[in-house]
Amino acid sequence: MQVISQVSEQVEELFGTADDLSLNIKPAPDRWSVAQVLEHLILINESYIPVIRTVRNGQWKPGWLGSRPFMTRFWYRTIYSSIHPDNRKKNKTRPIWEPSASSIEPGIVNRFLQQQEDFKRWITEAQDLVEQNVIIHSPAGKFITYTVGGAIDIMTQHELRHLIQAKETWQEVQSQS
């Protein structure tokens, strides 16, 4: 949870006083704005809530792939290495996590910070699932499985990766002004 708090603090410090128009400026047509980066993180983090709810309701069964430890390790390692902040290779996101193509509504920083608090609460509430090594599927596809703890690792490293992206984007936007 320390990583999530650090990301929140940096987002608030860097973008908390920025106007919505500036946050929506793209440094290039094929790149995301800071607002889009924040919306993308919100979409990803919120997409895990129904998955965890399904586990809590006893409706999730990991299936054949999820019951194969080598597959859950494979997916965890593959995704973790692709989204790790040290990996600077650009990745294409899944359609369910694509931010809006146009301007993001005002208040994106506040929505992101509120969602971060929800994310921390979600992690606290999922500790029993982490300790039990419960297997879940990715919101992007039921064949992609990993533990709840693995999902949290992936999500926190993903936030760090996109924080770097948002900082770089902001610097480019500011230098173009």
Q: What is the mean pLDDT of the chain?
A: 91
Greater confidence (99 vs 60) lies with 99
| Per-residue pLDDT reduced to its tens digit, 83-115 | 999 988 888 888 889 998 888 989 999 999 999
User: Residue 47 — φ and ψ, nearest 5°?
Assistant: -70, -15
Is the predicted pLDDT of residue 65 greater than 80, yes or no? Answer: no
The DSSP call for residue 68 is -
SS3 102: coil
What gap in Å lies between CA 51 and CA 83, rounded to an integer? Answer: 20
Q: What is the pLDDT of residue 141?
A: 86
